[in-house]
């Protein structure tokens, strides 16, 4: 009988319990993986028919917040470029040129330019020549007037030109911005006649309003022998003159010859209209004061016209005339006239008194 220590026995039993077979475990795992690789699943047979899903559209619109949407890089144009509000115009739309003989003075404090003696300013289609001109660029206006010479008399009256319109006033104020003007004591020639107005307002290039204007065909514009006084009127250059109360003055003496309103056509084309008479005094034949060559002109057609005119003298003499001209280009032309005059010389009871009648017919072809 052998005797063994307990400690030795305990040690052998402990080592046997902790021992493992690693080769068997690896073999088992490899076999399991191989079986799973070559195995197939078994499908169950289909006993029921396939039911297709029914698609319906949702009627509720879901709005997506614009902040959640992706940003798109777009090149947008500034809306101010297509703004309906018109841009404010600058001070001047064109170039201004000015000059003067004596001096050109610029006052920055008052924002004015002073021109003196033979002053001239040009702006677009407008020009002004005068003795003195003041340009106020703070108010966008120009002032033009006369100057006094060494004898105290006014000279170098302003001349205002715009397009085909020419005005010769004593003074003028013109606005660059709205193209309006105020004119004092102006003289304007319109279709053979002259309009002398105390005050004229230029509304635009085609409309003028006048106050207390004189319409005359006299050559002496400083003291016309006769004129039609227009209290208030409207002038459309080269077209018409429309007035209110108008009556005729002879040497500044009013006459009953007048109209509550008047219309004077102004045109460069041939048209029918009144022929204003000339006024004067016949001292050679002692017939007194007269009105001559007054009447009416008829523009019948492009080939023929007719003028009816008459004369009247303060001593009782009178006369009238008919004149007609006709023409057809490259074929013929001519004129026909008839004249009748009842002439009285001196006064009845005087030795040199005489009375005669004249008939005259003339035709040239």
* Model pTM above 0.85: no
Q: In this predicted structure, what is the pLDDT of residue 333?
A: 92
- The answer to whether residue 279 is domain-embedded is yes
- The answer to whether residue 74 is domain-embedded is no
Strands 253-259 and 354-364: unpaired
Q: pLDDT band for 338, please (50, 70, 90 cuts).
A: very high
Domain-ending residue, one of 220, 246, 268: 268
> Do 333 and 350 belong together in one domain?
yes
pLDDT per position as a tens digit, 258-311: 888 888 777 667 777 778 787 788 877 778 888 888 899 888 888 999 999 999
Number of domains in the chain: 3
> Do 278 and 346 belong together in one domain?
yes
> Do 261 and 191 belong together in one domain?
yes
- The answer to whether residue 137 is domain-embedded is yes
> Do 158 and 205 belong together in one domain?
no
* DSSP conformation letters of 344-362: EES-TTSTT-EEEEEEEEE
> Do 139 and 189 belong together in one domain?
no
> Do 262 and 274 belong together in one domain?
no
**Which structural domain, as residue segments, surrounds residue 96?**
91-178
> Do 167 and 237 belong together in one domain?
no
- The answer to whether residue 155 is domain-embedded is yes
> Do 221 and 274 belong together in one domain?
no
- The answer to whether residue 324 is domain-embedded is yes
Domain-ending residue, one of 178, 202, 219: 178
Q: With contact defined as beta carbons under 8 Å apart, do 211 and 183 qualify?
A: no
> Do 174 and 150 belong together in one domain?
yes
- The answer to whether residue 111 is domain-embedded is yes
Domain-ending residue, one of 121, 154, 178: 178
> Do 240 and 170 belong together in one domain?
no
CATH number at residue 103: 2.60.450.10
> Do 286 and 316 belong together in one domain?
yes
Report the mean per-residue pLDDT for the chain: 78
Mean pLDDT of 169-190: 84
Burial of 258 (0-12, 13-18, 19+ CB in 10 A): middle
- The answer to whether residue 24 is domain-embedded is no
pLDDT of 211 > 50? The answer is yes
> Do 340 and 284 belong together in one domain?
yes
In whole angstroms, how far apart are CA 67 and each of 62, 70, 76, 115? Answer: 15, 8, 19, 66
Q: pLDDT band for 340, please (50, 70, 90 cuts).
A: very high
């Amino acid at each position: 009988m052998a005797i063994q220590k307990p400690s030795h026995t305990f040690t052998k039993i402990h080592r046997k319990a902790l021992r493992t077979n690693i080769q068997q475990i690896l073999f088992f795992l490899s076999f399991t993986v191989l079986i799973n690789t070559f195995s197939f699943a078994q499908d169950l047979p289909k006993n029921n028919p396939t039911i297709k899903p029914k698609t319906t559209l949702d009627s509720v619109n879901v709005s997506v917040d614009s902040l959640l949407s992706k940003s798109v890089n777009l090149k947008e144009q500034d809306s101010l470029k297509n703004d309906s509000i018109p841009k404010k115009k600058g001070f001047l739309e064109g170039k201004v040129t000015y000059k003067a003989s004596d001096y050109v003075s610029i006052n920055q404090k008052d924002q004015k330019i002073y021109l003196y003696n033979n002053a001239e300013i040009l702006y677009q289609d407008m020009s002004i020549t005068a003795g003195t001109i003041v340009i106020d660029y703070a108010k966008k206006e120009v002032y033009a007037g006369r100057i006094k010479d060494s004898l105290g008399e006014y000279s170098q009256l302003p001349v205002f030109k715009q397009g085909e319109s020419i005005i010769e006033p004593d003074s003028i104020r013109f606005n660059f911005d709205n193209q309006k003007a105020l004119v004092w004591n102006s003289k304007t020639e319109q279709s053979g006649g002259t309009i002398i107005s105390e005050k004229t307002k230029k509304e635009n290039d085609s409309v003028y309003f006048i106050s207390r204007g004189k319409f005359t065909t006299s050559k002496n514009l400083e003291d016309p022998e006769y004129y039609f006084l227009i209290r208030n009127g409207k002038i459309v250059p080269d077209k018409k003159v429309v007035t209110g109360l108008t009556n005729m003055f002879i040497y500044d003496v009013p006459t009953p010859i007048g109209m509550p309103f008047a219309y004077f056509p102004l045109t460069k084309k041939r048209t029918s209209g009144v022929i204003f008479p000339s006024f004067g005094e016949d001292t050679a034949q002692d017939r007194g004061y007269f009105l001559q060559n007054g009447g009416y002109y008829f523009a019948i057609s492009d080939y023929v016209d007719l003028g009816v005119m008459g004369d009247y003298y303060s001593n009782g003499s009178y006369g009238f005339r008919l004149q007609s001209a006709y023409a057809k280009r490259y074929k013929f032309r001519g004129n026909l006239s008839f004249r009748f005059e009842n002439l009285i010389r001196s006064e009845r009871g005087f030795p040199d008194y005489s009375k005669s009648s004249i008939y005259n017919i003339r035709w040239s072809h």
